[in-house]
Amino acid sequence: MRKLTTGDAAFQSLNYILLSLLGIMTLYPFLNLLALSFNDSLDSLKGGVHILPRAFTLENYATMFQNTQLYGAALRSLARTLIGTGLGIFCTALFAYALSRKEFVFRRGFNLILVVTLYVNGGIIPIYLTIKNLHLTNSFFVYLLPLLINGFYIMIMRSSFEQLPAGLTESAKIDGASDFQTLFRIIIPISLPVIATITLFIAVMHWNSWFDNYLYNSRDQKLALLQYELMKILLNSVGQQSSQTHVDENTVKIISPESIRATMTIIVTVPILLIYPFLQRYFIKGITIGAIKE
């Protein structure tokens, strides 16, 4: 055991304190929301609920899920994420694989077409009008199609495929495997870290999207997503922040805006927090390999 000098000890203690503070500052808001979501709505109004609920109840969640509008939005968000992620990872893998094949005739051309999208984009108004002219507004497809191809994710996956030994695909070819077979039977199974990483990224992107809902589909309540519903609550509450909330003590079913926001935020956040610890070791590896090699 090495002896610490006073300076080192001071530095180290300070470091632990600083990082703990940072950890608390990051975690506290989430724990606070969690506590509020499980706390009785009227009781929360008194303030002082921190990381543990004071008057535990499931009422907030029950009320939220009785709201059919919200229930529908949750299902749509889930559907969008599942379909969007499935299609997204499929297309990303196809494109990345083809671009990683050195002999591919269109390799340079398609690569260029893709790289340009990383730096140039039409801008918010031209994109809006394109979507409108394609008659994609007020439809579920606008959630899926424009996001199907993401140049950045394809580049990460391509560079990961390129680092695999060339002999793998050559021997597969000699054995008579088609490109589809090579991709799905050989390349993907040994590229699970990068596949997992990109899957997580795409899933998070879909789950967190709300602006396309706001811009293209805000007229049709049947297309509303969970994040958009949460956004509406946020915008409404900011306007009336300073006005006091009046809640009738006798009506049990009414919950305060604060509790609604807390509960809603938890509902929106939990799915991500459930999957991400499992994928963490993959994405740290995946993103750093892709990034450093670039």
Partner 1 sequence: MQHATTGQKKWLIRIKQQKQLIAMTVPLVVLVIVFHYLPLWGWIMAFQKYSLVKGISGSPFVGFDKFADLFRDDRFYQVLRNTLVMGLLNLITGFFGAILFALLLNEIRFSLFKRTIQTIAYIPHFVSWVVIANIFTMILSPDGGTMNVILEKLGLVESPIYFLAQEEWFWVIHTAASLWKELGWSSIIYLAVLAGVNTELYEAAEMDGASRYRKMWHISVPSLMPTAFVLLVLSLGWIIQSGYESQFLLGNSVVIDYSEVLDLYALNYSFQIGDYSYGAAISIFKSIVSITLVVAVNFLSGKLGQGKVI
Name residues contacting partner 1, limited to 198-237 (CB under 8 A): 204, 207-211, 215, 227, 230-231, 233-234, 237
Task: Choose which of 13, 22, 71, 152 interacts with partner 1 (CB under 8 A).
Answer: 22
Quote the CA–CA distance of 30 and 27 in Å, as a whole number.
Answer: 6
Any contact of residue 158 with partner 1 (CB under 8 A)? no
Interaction of residue 86 with partner 1, rule CB under 8 A = no
Rounded Cα distance, 245 and 234, in Å: 15
Residue 51 in contact with partner 1, rule: CB under 8 A = no
Task: Say if CB 80 and CB 72 are below 8 A apart.
Answer: no
Rounded to whole angstroms, the Cα distance separating 247 from 45 reads 10
C-alpha 133: how far from chain center: 28
Dihedral pair phi/psi, residue 39, rounded to 5°? -100, 150
Q: Looking only at residues 104 through 143 of this chain, which bind partner 1 when binding is defined by CB under 8 A?
A: 104-106, 110, 113-114, 116-117, 119-130, 133-134
Residue 159 binds to partner 1 (criterion: CB under 8 A): no
Would you say 14 or 252 has its CB closer to partner 1?
A: 14
CB of 160 to partner 1, least distance (A): 15
Stretch that binds partner 1, among 3-11, 57-65, 190-198, 247-255 (CB under 8 A): 3-11
CB of 77 to partner 1, least distance (A): 11
Inter-CA distances, 142 with 73, 87, 153, Å = 16, 14, 20
Site for partner 1 in 235-254 (CB under 8 A): 237-239, 241-242
- H helices of 120-224, in order, are 124-133, 151-162, 166-174, 179-181, 188-190, 192-208, 211-216
| Residue with token string 């968000």 | 77
Give 191's DSSP letter. Answer: T
Decide if 107 contacts 47 (C-beta within 8 A).
no
Residue 3 lies near partner 1 (rule: CB under 8 A): no
Among 13, 67, 171, 178, binds partner 1 (CB under 8 A): 178
> Using the rule CB under 8 A, which residue among 146, 184, 247, 254 binds partner 1?
146
Beta-carbon contacts of residue 204 (< 8 Å; ≥ 6 apart): 272
Residue 174 as a binder of partner 1 (CB under 8 A): the answer is no
Contact residue for partner 1 among 258, 259, 263, 282 (CB under 8 A): 258
Q: Is residue 18 a contact point for partner 1 (CB under 8 A)?
A: yes
Binding-site member from 1, 3, 26, 253 for partner 1 (CB under 8 A): 26
Segment contacting partner 1 by CB under 8 A, of 68-76, 87-95, 185-193, 248-256? 87-95
In degrees and rounded to multiples of 5, residue 55 shows phi and psi of -125, 90
